[in-house]
Amino acid sequence: MTKPEDDVGGATPPPAIRTELLERRYGRHVALHGLSLVVPRGRVFGFLGPNGAGKTTAVKLLLGLVRATGGEGMVLGLPLGDPAARRRIGYLPELFRYQDWLTGCEVLGAHAALAGIAKAQRREAAERALATVGLAGEGLRRVGTYSKGMQQRLGLAVALLGEPELVVLDEPTSALDPVGRHDVRGIMHDLKARGATVFLNSHLLSEVEAVCDEVAVIDRGRVIAQGEMTDLLRAVGVDLEVEGVSEQEILRLGGIFTPPRAASFPQLAESAVPELVAAIVGLGGRIHAVRPRRATLEQRFLDWLEVP
């Protein structure tokens, strides 16, 4: 494990998150077992797994809310739980509630103080965070008058106070409508653009697929799959719109023909598409469309968990 002092002098900053065989036990119950994970900086990283897989425990360990019973880890080049690292992290928990009688600005002001933001800068930081999440002009309203979606946006604003280097988001779009989910995707893109790292925990796999650069899937406290989104969602065949070729010719080429002109090659590698197109043209066929068929994140997720 890299030491903090080694990171300071190096030209390349350490990963946003690095864990090695991280473990958390509660008596005989093992909530997290041997989690080894590397999250590069400046990326949107999806952290996935079924209920009970250990995701919440892992997040608590990364934030220093609980202590590991085995293994080790670092966040932003500092040991887990180091106060200096925690000041550079923004966090939106899945379940949160702010006092109904406080205004949005008062909530943000209190959290800005806890984050160590200078008193003279707190109002500006709160207004900037409200504007970022689409709540500009709503800061003087009491939280009790906010809709569920507005409260979710307020929680996200709290996580963005002080421009943190690492933003941990736990189900950030669970209470939002399609417009709100679109806005949150834009916020994550902007965070990445300014060099921040987003660590996203979500069950909405379509959202993860749309926004993440890389994902890790854990089950029973261990990583069972990790990689670039583009690599994980590899092509799993190709569909064509053709005419001028018979069903027998398509079958001979290894495909499935559905009249009037739909042909499917479910096992064809993407690299073999040019050869296939040339073969069909050589038979006198005309090709109107070529559509690579890719696995969805949900399909791959179920495969990794070996769900029949």
**pLDDT averaged over 10-residue windows placed end to end, the chain, 308 residues:** 46 88 89 90 93 88 92 93 90 89 94 90 92 92 92 93 92 84 89 93 88 91 87 82 90 87 84 90 92 83 80
Q: What is the extent of the structural domain holding 98?
A: 4-228
Are residue 180 and residue 249 in the same domain, yes or no? no
Are residue 189 and residue 274 in the same domain, yes or no? no
CATH of the domain at 276: 3.30.70
Give the end of a domain, one of 212, 228, 244.
228
Helix (H) or strand (E) holding 186: helix 178-193
* pLDDT score recorded for residue 113: 92
* pLDDT score recorded for residue 2: 43
37 Ramachandran zone, left/alpha/beta (phi>0; psi -120 to 50): beta
Q: What does the angle CA 18 – CA 19 – CA 23 come to, to the nearest 5 degrees?
A: 160
Are residue 210 and residue 87 in the same domain, yes or no? yes
Tell me the C-alpha distance between 2 and 80, whole Å: 13
Are residue 284 and residue 258 in the same domain, yes or no? yes
Task: List all residues 6 or more positions away from 88 whose beta carbon is below 8 Å from its beta carbon.
Answer: 76, 164, 165, 166
**What are the structure tokens assigned to 306, written together?**
């070996």
* pLDDT score recorded for residue 6: 45
Q: Does residue 88 contact residue 164 with C-beta atoms inside 8 Å?
A: yes
Are residue 284 and residue 175 in the same domain, yes or no? no
* pLDDT score recorded for residue 70: 92
Tell me the C-alpha distance between 89 and 17, whole Å: 11
The phi and psi torsions of 197 (rounded to 5 degrees) equal -110, 135
> DSSP class of residue 214?
E
Per the structure, the count of domains in the chain is 2
Are residue 77 and residue 165 in the same domain, yes or no? yes
Are residue 33 and residue 161 in the same domain, yes or no? yes
Give the end of a domain, one of 167, 200, 228.
228
The amino acid occupying position 39 is: V
